[in-house]
Amino acid sequence: MQDSGLSPEIGQIVIITKGRDQGQLGIIVEIIDDRFVKVADGDKRKVDRMKKKNINHLDLIDYIADEVKSSFIETGRVTNGKLRYALTNFLEQYSDLLKEGE
């Protein structure tokens, strides 16, 4: 399920592997360049305070939150509620897979 060979995409779910937010899930909400992205989760890390993260400090999960991606395509932004909803959906669908991978 996790694959470092993926290139980051807006709406992609990630696991933060380094820093204060280590072990938490986030969603890529902005791609800065080929090394850095901005991550938010809509809860502890809101959209207006996105965290700039080095891609090497993230586990990219092969899962794109469609509602987040389509929101960016339609409006150019995303709400904190959409981010929370996307993460909740992901956790409900894949919590068993995450437990197996630990």
pLDDT per residue over 33-69, tens digit each?
A: 999 999 999 999 999 999 999 999 999 999 999 999 9
Q: What's the chain's length in residues? A: 102
User: pLDDT higher for 17 or 4?
Assistant: 17
Structure tokens at 56: 């090497």
Quote the pLDDT of residue 91.
Answer: 92
The domain ranges of the chain are: 12-95
Quote the pLDDT of residue 95.
Answer: 72
What are the tens digits of pLDDT across the range 61-91?
999 999 999 999 999 999 999 999 999 999 9
Q: Looking at the domain that runs over 12-95, which CATH code has it been given? A: 2.30.30.140
pTM score of the predicted model: 0.87
User: For residue 19, which phi and psi values (nearest 5 degrees)?
Assistant: 95, -170
Structure tokens at 50: 């996105």
What distance lies between CA 49 and its chain's CA centroid?
Answer: 14
> Is the pLDDT confidence value at 10 over 80?
yes
Rounded to the nearest integer, the mean pLDDT of the chain is 90
